[in-house]
Amino acid sequence: MSVAPLLSVRDLHVQFGARRSVVRAVNGVDFDLAPGERFAVVGESGSGKSVMSLALLRLLPRNALIPSGTIRLAGRDVLSLTERDLGRLRGRDAAMVFQDPMSSLNPVLRIGRQITAPMRRHLGADEDHAHARAVELLGEVGLPDPERAMRTFPHELSGGMRQRVLIAMALSCRPSLIIADEPTTALDVTVQAQIIRLLTRLSEEHSVAMILVTHDLGIVARFAQRVAVMYGGRFVEVGTVDEIFYDPRHPYTEGLLRSIPHTGAERTELLYQIDGFPPDPTSLPPGCAFEPRCTCSIEVCRNQVPALEGEEGGHAARCWVAVGDRVHRRVELVR
Amino acid sequence: MMLTEDDRIIERPQTGSAVPLLEVEGLSKTFDLGRAKWTGPKRLLRAVVDATFSVARGETLALVGESGCGKTTTARMVALLETPTAGHIRLGGHDLRALSGHEFRRERRRVQMVFQDSMASLDPRMRVGHSIAEPLAVTGAPRAERDRRVDQLLEQVGLETRIADQFPQTLSGGQRQRIGIARALALKPDVIVADEPTSALDLSIRAQVVNLLRRIQRELDIAIVFISHDLGTVRHLADRVAVMYLGRIVEQSPTEQLFANPLHPYTRALISAVPVADPKVERDRQWKVPEGDVPSPIDPPSGCAFRARCPHATDTCLTRPPLDELRPGRLVACHFADRWIGTKTA
Amino acid sequence: MTAIVPVPEQVRTNPRSLHGPPRFDVVHRLVANRRVIAGLVIVVPFVALALFFPVLPFRPPNASSLGDRLSSPSLSHPFGTDTLGRDQLSRTVAGARISIMVGVLAAAISISLGMLIGTVAGYFGGWVDSIVSAVLNVFLSFPGLLIGLLLVAVFGPGVWQIVAAVSIAFTPRAARLQRASVLSMRNRPYMDAARQAAAPTWWILLRHVVPNTVSPMLVVGSIFTADAILIEATISFTGLGIVPPTPSWGSIIKGGQAVLREAWWISLVPAMCLIVFAIGLHLLADGTRQVIDPSEQLEKQR
């Protein structure tokens, strides 16, 4: 990376519970994020993607434990910040947009009050300035009547509009990073498209780096510049969006891409299906987490977790079989 | 199990030549929401208005649309879980609503539903084997036969027979969905209504369930009504697609023609809104994302329901367009549909 | 087009699903819960004593011995004697027998009736529900004690009369709870699944509605028992309900009221028993609720 990374994560581990069963949600995540970059983390339920995104701003519940790892955001070590400094970080340097807009907004406060809160707190803005900027932001995120919207309560708005309000709030203190955890899952398809388009535009216009956590590969294809595929608490493949979709190296990535009915694909064939089921985070296998479902695993896969191999900062995969010849597999993506 | 050439290519009946098994005509459902105030106006929710379609044996019809479009209510009416306010449902020629109690109970078993939430669709206090066997027990099948059939059904959906003793909470989402399918098959139905069967499942599991439905349809020659908002799966699985908006069917076409040449502006909007897992396609396509939110079905706009969000709306749209058959097998409810016949999709 | 990798259709069973069925799990968890154990430690001895009273070597509870009247607790009379010289220990245990029986019976009857009424109202809805709910609301607007007193005044004194009175007083509460339970599960998809198999209504009620709504009722049953005993005691204390010489905790407390200063033990002992037993039942109920309440379980899983 030629520019200094905005966010730098090394060897991040997150686990829950102690007594009998430990839930190993995140098991060694490394990545860098460039300023203004749009980064997507794809995974299924149980892959650890949400937990990882919460960990970045230390928003995990009390029973979560980060036994090891470093997170450097804008030059500061997030994991060693005091509560006070953390409070300054959240909302100002980095903001988060969650999946369910209704539970992220206080139902008894008007929108205006909520959206100006971060500005008043972090930037010390007075009421009038904050109000003006809020109206400006609401217009920018596409709310039809921003002044009126300021006076409404959350339940008076639709899901799509609420999510826009949250995005406006996230932008209000001009953060360098926005983390969005499944921001469109609860929304209708057409509204989803609007929100994704909005996020893309905002990222470009304001040079805000974005981490989008999702399970929808279509959204990834539309939105992301770089992608990480997550499975069993680890990144199993990282690369640019073209690399991931057109040259997948990890069997999971490949299987996933092939199992999704592509609207351009042949109709008459059965879909490729990945056998088995996602791993149980309380009992991960000693080796590669995907091995039980993998059609091309070899002995070492069962015993040892593969390292993330590939070009430094470029396309990399965590698989003993991936890089190198795949003579035994002889498969190609059906396009 | 090696897939052979025969497995891979699945024959489809020619559209239009098949005798319809399930015929739905003018189906409507209106909910009475009571009055907001004592003296206020009566509020009616017209969830489904005048839905007409048919499905033949071995054929799959998909109902697509966003929330509030009425697809779930339509599905429930077809599965006879909801009483229509108006319209007819014919199964093999018999008008189901006209049947007496005893006959009705007998005929309704021919339509079975697979539910979206597999956990909620299984009684948490019953072992899954008993859940699957319940339809058989209701019809009076003896114990031995029920057990045998449960084993048979479990095999058919690709599960180990010992899973029958488990309770639903211990199973994974994919397994539960298969149980739901097994139960739906217990009475050898002619029609299966699948309500978003994969949306609650993990990505890597969805293909399993889609393939299963496919295979079962081919083996048992079942008609499938498939509700979904996942256009990719719809395109893969369905023979014909009906697009719904605010309770009405706005377009109905064979699948390939619908995707290659969508005629209704809402269909075009929907297709362009759904992201495709292919970065080049995404970069090249033009985004014609409609503005605004999906309107509430309680207070729909007059005239054409899509008027408020349609980029091509004119005064003509103040009168509601009828669902016309523009070409054989292609129905559209838009005054200007013929403008787009034969053009490429956006 | 190149060859497609063969796809085995058989899904391997998730190792998690080979654990035992939840039913046995519940029993294990019940026994492991501290409140349940504490509750049982209190409740079981009381119930055992009450049950086996006739065969245990107690003095006859009604045998008066005027020479010993109002004697304070001693070795021969561990709980003292009352105004007629009757042994308080045996009277207390005999009283327990009556009180607990009244409590359990009244709770059982009101819960059974309540489940019946509540299920009908909740499941069928419409005008049936409207009428039933209206009637229930009338009853619920009165405190249970008041209804009990009223009915006992009408029925007259006696054990069975008081059981009937308390049952009638509590049935509306049980009915309301059951109705709420039924309403919340009536439209769950598995009910739809049963309907689409053309299962008759009685089948659905018996095989699905009742088993899925019975758990909260078990918890309620324990609390009703405690409440019923307390109401019985209160009613008997006023002189209605169970009258002397039949011992019940309430009537014994009443009997000791006049001599409270000299012979405090007469009223105190049954009162203490009442309190402790009620606490025991509540602990049992709360512990059971902790174990079977799904939202508590979800919290633990996080």
DSSP assignments along C134-196, one per residue: HHHHHHHTS-HHHHHHHHHHHH-SSHHHHHHHHHHHHHHHHHHHHHHHHHHHTTSHHHHHHHH
Residue identified by tokens 């049992």 is C284
pLDDT band with cut points at 50, 70 and 90 for residue C25: low
Taking CA atoms, what residue in C is nearest to A275? C11
Q: Kind and range of the H or E element at A113?
A: helix A111-122
What is the pLDDT averaged over residues A251-280?
78
DSSP codes, B65-95: --TTSSHHHHHHHHTTSS--SEEEEEETTEE
Query: Residue C114: its pLDDT value, please?
Result: 95
Nearest to C17 among B158, B166, B180 (CB): B166
Min Cα distance A63 → chain C (Å) is: 9
Question: At a CB cut-off of 8 Å and minimum separation 6, what does B334 contact?
Answer: B250, B251, B263, B264, B265, B304, B321
Cβ burial of B23 (10 Å; 0-12, 13-18, 19+) is middle
Nearest-by-CA chain B residue for C203? B138
Whether the per-residue pLDDT at A334 is higher than 50: the answer is no
Structural domain contains residue A120: no
Sort out which chain B residues have CB atoms less than 8 A from A252's CB and list them. 204
Question: Is A96 in a helix, a strand, or coil?
Answer: strand
Is residue C78 in a domain?
Answer: no
Q: CB distance from A245 to chain C under 8 Å?
A: no
pLDDT at C293: 66
- Contact check, Cβ <8 Å, B277/A277: no
Distance CA A218, CA B274 (A): 8
Average pLDDT score over residue span C177-191:
93
**Residue numbers of the domain that contains A305:** 7-93+175-317
Q: What are phi and psi of B60, to 5 degrees?
A: -120, 125
Average pLDDT over residues A285-306: 87
Question: Which DSSP state fits C21?
Answer: P
Q: Tell me: the pLDDT tens digits for B309-345? A: 888 888 888 888 888 888 888 999 988 888 888 776 5
Assess A8–B contact: CB distance below 8 Å, yes or no: no
Enter the tokens of residue B319: 């009168």
What CA–CA distance (Å, rounded) separates C13 from B164? 11
Q: What is the CATH number of the domain that holds A182?
A: 3.40.50.300
Strands B20-35 and B86-91, sheet pairing: antiparallel
pLDDT tens track for B139-166: 888 999 999 999 999 999 999 988 999 8
Distance from CA of B3 to the nearest CA of C (A): 6
> Measured between CA atoms, how close is A152 to chain C, in angstroms?
32
What are the residues whose beta carbons fall under 8 Å from the beta carbon of B245, sequence distance 6 or more?
B65, B69, B266, B305, B306
Structure tokens that stand for C110 in this block: 């009101």
A–B: how many Cβ contacts below 8 A?
A: 147
Select from B2, B165, B208 the Cβ nearest to the Cβ of C6. Answer: B2
How are beta strands A7-16 and A23-33 bridged, if at all? antiparallel
For residue C169, give its domain range. 29-56+89-301
Q: If 0-12 CB within 10 Å is exposed, 13-18 middle and 19+ buried, where does residue C225 land? A: buried
Give which of A63, A331, A333, A335 to mutate to test C binding, by max C Cβ within 10 Å. A331
Tell me which DSSP letter residue C68 carries: G
Contacting residues for B266 by C-beta, under 8 A, at least 6 apart? B243, B245, B250, B251, B290, B306, B309, B310
In this prediction, residues A75-96 reach a mean pLDDT of 89
- Contact C13/B162 with Cβ under 8 angstroms? yes
Q: Which two tokens stand for residue B52?
A: 């007409």
- State the pLDDT confidence band at A109, using cuts at 50, 70 and 90: very high
Q: Is B115 on the interface with C (CB under 8 A)?
A: yes
Closest to B252 measured CA to CA, from B12, B63, B26? B63
Within-domain flag for C258: yes
* CATH number for region B19-56+73-105+242-339: 3.40.50.300
Tell me which residue has tokens 């209804």: C147
b/e string for A73-110 if b means 16 or more Cβ within 10 A? bbeeebbebeeeebeebbbbbbbbbbbbbeebbeeeee
- Residue B327 distance to chain C (closest CA, Å): 34
Pick the more confident residue, B287 or C266.
Answer: C266
Number of domains in chain A: 1
Q: Could you tell me the pLDDT band of residue A309, with boundaries at 50, 70 and 90?
A: confident
Can you read off the two tokens belonging to residue B295?
């309107």
CB contact under 8 A, C193 and B183: yes
The complex's ipTM?
A: 0.83
**Structure confidence by residue, pLDDT tens digits, B290-304:** 777 777 777 777 888
Dump the DSSP string for B258-303: HHHS--SHHHHHHHHHS--S-HHHHHHS---PPPSPPPPTTSPPSS
**Which residues fall within 8 angstroms of residue B313, CB to CB, at 6 or more apart?**
B304, B306, B307
Q: Measured at the alpha carbon of residue A324, what is the angle toward residues A318 and A329, in degrees to the nearest 5?
A: 90
Helix axis angle, C210-237 to C249-257, nearest 10°? 20
Residues of chain B found within 8 Å of residue A49, distances taken between Cβ atoms: none
Q: What is the CATH number of the domain that holds C38?
A: 1.10.3720.10
Residue A26 sits at φ, ψ, to 5 deg, of -125, 125
Check whether A74 has a pLDDT greater than 90. no
More confidently predicted of C89 and A9: A9
Both structure tokens of A315: 């396309």
Put simply, the answer to whether C6 touches B3 (Cβ < 8 Å) is yes
A16, A276, A329 member nearest C12 (Cβ): A276
- C231-269 exposure pattern, b = at least 16 Cβ within 10 A, e = fewer: bbbbbbbeebbbeeebbbbbbbbbbbeebeeebebbbbb
Q: Which residue has the higher pLDDT, B285 or C167?
A: C167
**Quick check: A197 contacting B, CB < 8 Å?**
yes
Question: What average pLDDT does this structure show over A168-184?
Answer: 93
Residue A10 pLDDT greater than 90, yes or no: yes
Mean pLDDT of A199-213: 94
Average pLDDT over all residues of chain A: 87
How high is the pLDDT of residue C18? 39
Local structure of residue B166 (DSSP, 8 states): S
Q: How far apart are CA B150 and CA B130, in angstroms?
A: 9
CA-CA distance, C199 to C194, in Å (whole number)? Answer: 6
What pLDDT, on a 0 to 100 scale, did the predictor assign at position C13? 41
Q: What is the pLDDT of residue A329?
A: 41
In a domain, A148, yes or no: no
- The C-alpha atoms of residue B224 and residue B238 are separated, in whole angstroms, by 9
Q: What is the mean pLDDT of residues C3-16?
A: 36
Cα distance between residue A175 and residue B96, in whole Å: 61
Write down the pLDDT at residue B5.
Answer: 40
Out of B9, B66, B277, whose CB is closest to A188?
A: B66
pLDDT at A226: 95
In chain B, DSSP assigns E strands to: 20-35, 42-56, 60-64, 86-91, 94-95, 111-114, 191-195, 223-228, 240-245, 248-254, 324-327, 330-332
Token pair of B81 as six digits: 């879980």
Residue C108 lies in a domain: yes
Whether residue A256 lies within 8 A of chain B, CB to CB, comes out as yes
* Cβ neighbours for C141, distance < 8 A, ≥ 6 positions apart: none
Q: Is residue A227 part of a domain?
A: yes
Of B248, B194, B242, nearest to B47 by C-alpha is: B248
Q: Give the span between the Cα atoms of B162 and B151, in whole angstroms.
A: 9
What is the pLDDT at residue B84?
93
Residue B235: count other Cβ atoms within 10 Å of its Cβ. Answer: 22
Assign C253 a pLDDT band (cuts: 50, 70, 90): confident
- Whole-number pLDDT of residue C9: 38
Give every residue of chain B whose pLDDT is below 70, as ranges.
1-18, 286-288, 344-346
Examine residue C245 and say whether the peptide bond preceding it is cis (omega within 30 degrees of 0).
yes
B326: its two tokens:
């523009």
Mean pLDDT along residues A217-222 = 92
Q: Is B141 exposed, middle or buried (0-12, 13-18, 19+ CB in 10 A)?
A: middle
Interface probe, candidates B123, B160, B162, B177, chain C, greatest C C-beta count within 10 A: B123
Which of the four pLDDT bands, split at 50, 70 and 90, describes residue C135?
very high
Q: Total structural domains in chain C?
A: 1
pLDDT tens per residue, range A25-54: 999 999 999 999 999 999 988 899 999 999
**Edge-to-edge strands, sheet with B42-56:** B42-56, B20-35, B86-91, B94-95
Distance CA A79, CA A55 (A): 9
